[in-house]
Structure 1
């Protein structure tokens, strides 16, 4: 019986060892599977973040490119503004003369220049005498005593016209304010 018990014990030990080995293999397989699931989740998160970052980059560069196209003419337009101012002053002086043909010719050239600049996106900042002064849209050159109490803090005179390109003011109007 002892030999039989010993053989039975050996068989039981072998079965127990085999069961333990199978459990370890199953546990190892589960931990490998969990590890792979975690790695997959990390890589997926990394991919999504990279994709979102790339989409933001594309959107930002597209917006910058559109802005660049809108303001590409800014330097040329800024150089042309004094010429436009000179034309405005010339129109005032020529209109005082009796020469109607000269006035008509200069008016045609003036309108053509203005039309060309407007077609390139230039707009005049609308500001006139009597408007309330706003430092965001005009530059105060000086203050003078207001001609009437109603003109205190308001624009008394526009010295130089202002212009904008799209939504951006490229030259602020220069004004005199009533004090």
Structure 2
């Protein structure tokens, strides 16, 4: 708009009236083109800013969606392992029960054995219902440090037990997919 006024003022300063109209038309056309170019430039800037803001919004929205998914997953994992500490505290009691069962089985008292077996099974079934599972490792399996803890190595009794588990000293347990106590094993060397 300022440019248009400038050209009008300069055309008015022209004292020669002979070709005034074509000059005014030319000045007006140039001023209109400049004004149109300025409007297009402003429009392009606004479109660019709008595109930036849309991109910013989409990124923020995606980040928020990822946050929601991550917190939902963490919440589910927390519910799955909420009683982990209690179950870990019960594991030594379960180990003691297992050792007691071995000793009671050596005695001649059938009623005592039957009663303790019932209590032992009830304890195990209660812990299993809360999500506790025994890690399935036995003598003769290949040793994998991701699923067992080697406490010692002994010379292998046979050649086929080299690098394999010779004995399971302490049972391992997992809660869901997470191992909460690794089995302690002896490996053949």
Q: Shorter-chain-normalised TM-score: which range? A: over 0.9
Does the residue aligned with 2:96 lie in a helix, a strand or coil? Answer: helix
Partner residue, 2:50: 40
Deviating above 6 A after TM superposition, structure 1's stretches of 4 or more consecutive aligned residues are none
User: Considering only aligned residues, what root-mean-square deviation do their CA atoms show, in Å?
Assistant: 1.4
Distance 1:102 1:155 in 2: 34
User: After superposition, what is the alpha-carbon deviation per residue over 1:10-43, rounded to whole angstroms, capped at 9, x for unaligned?
Assistant: 2222212211221122111111211111111111
1:14 pairs with 2:31: no
2:129 corresponds to which residue?
119
- What is the match of residue 97 of structure 1? 107
> Alpha-carbon deviation of 1:8?
3.5
Match of 1:84 in 2: 94
Q: TM-score, normalised by structure 1?
A: 0.92
Give the whole-Å Cα distance in 2 for the aligned partners of 1:39 and 1:178. Answer: 70
Structure 1 residues 117-158: Cα deviation after superposition (integer angstroms, max 9, x where no partner): 111111101111111211111111112222222222221111
For structure 2, the 5+ residue unaligned runs are 1-14
1:145 is aligned, of 155, 158, 178, to 155
- Give 5+ residue unaligned stretches, structure 1: none
2:183 to 161, 173, 177: 173
1:93 CA displacement: 0.8
